[in-house]
């Protein structure tokens, strides 16, 4: 038994469990950590697309006729579209764009109708609203064209006035130059007259002396 005990193999030592397969990879200290991604950074929220109903179109056109944003000034125009947007329940930009599309479609419809039959068909209530809005927009375009023409005419008048003033200044400079020469000419004439007068006096004196000697 003792011999068997001496040849008994020692029990293997229990090694610590390996962590190589379970340890998470780490970023080296000299490299920056990758940016964290969030749903807000990878996806963008899109505004829901709004479809105007016939009722919304009617309200839109009625409000446009009531506030007339075409005639309003630059600051008041924004306020007018804001009031229209509140009544329709859609933001001002979309109301303005949709109104433009409605008017453009109405004009195309009228042009096609006149070309086909030579007469314009009877208007519906929506057509009447669109016709009035289109008239307001056309009046504003005419006012803009008139203002542009007045501005251009004023600029032309100013340019013409500037040119006339420049020509007048040039004329004044020329007259001033002539005025500087005139006194010099007068002085030369005066000197010439004095010289001629002295010559005449000497001539007379010489003649008198000659006559006196002959006596």
Query: How far is it, in rounded angstroms, from Cα 131 to Cα 140?
Result: 14
Strongest mean pLDDT among 37-41, 74-78, 134-138, 157-161: 134-138
> In the prediction, which pLDDT does 120 show?
58
Please tell me the pTM assigned to this model: 0.50
- More confidently predicted of 93 and 42: 93
pLDDT band per the 50, 70, 90 thresholds, residue 41:
very low
Alpha-carbon span 83 to 66, nearest angstrom:
10
Summarize pLDDT for 1-39 with one digit per residue, the tens.
Answer: 444 444 444 554 544 444 444 455 555 555 555 555 555
Token pair for 27: 């970023």
Domain boundary assignment for the chain: 54-166
pLDDT attached to residue 135: 93
- Where are the strands (E) in 66-188, listed by range? none
Please state, rounded to an integer, the average pLDDT across all residues of the chain. 77
Is residue 148 scored above 60 in pLDDT?
yes
Per-residue pLDDT reduced to its tens digit, 117-146: 666 566 788 999 999 999 999 998 888 898
Rounded Cα distance, 87 and 62, in Å? 10
């Amino acid at each position: 038994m003792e011999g068997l005990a001496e040849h008994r193999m020692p029990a293997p030592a229990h090694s610590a469990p390996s962590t190589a397969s379970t340890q998470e990879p780490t970023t080296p200290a000299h490299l920056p950590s990758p940016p964290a991604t969030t749903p807000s950074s990878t996806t963008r929220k899109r505004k829901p697309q709004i479809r105007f109903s016939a009722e919304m179109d009617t309200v839109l056109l009625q409000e446009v006729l009531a506030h007339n944003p075409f005639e309003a000034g630059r600051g008041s125009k924004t306020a007018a579209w804001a009031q229209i947007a509140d009544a329709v329940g859609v933001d001002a930009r979309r109301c303005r764009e949709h109104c433009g599309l409605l008017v453009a479609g109405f004009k195309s419809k009228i042009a096609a109708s006149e070309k086909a039959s030579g007469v314009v068909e009877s208007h519906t209530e929506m057509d009447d609203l669109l016709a009035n809005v289109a008239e307001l927009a056309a009046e504003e375009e005419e006012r803009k064209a008139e203002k542009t023409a007045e501005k251009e005419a004023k600029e032309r008048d100013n340019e013409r006035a500037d040119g006339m003033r420049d020509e007048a200044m040039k004329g004044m400079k020329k007259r001033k130059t002539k005025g500087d020469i005139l006194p010099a000419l007068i002085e030369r004439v005066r000197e010439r007259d004095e010289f001629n007068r002295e010559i005449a006096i000497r001539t007379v004196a010489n003649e008198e002396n000659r006559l006196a000697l002959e006596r």
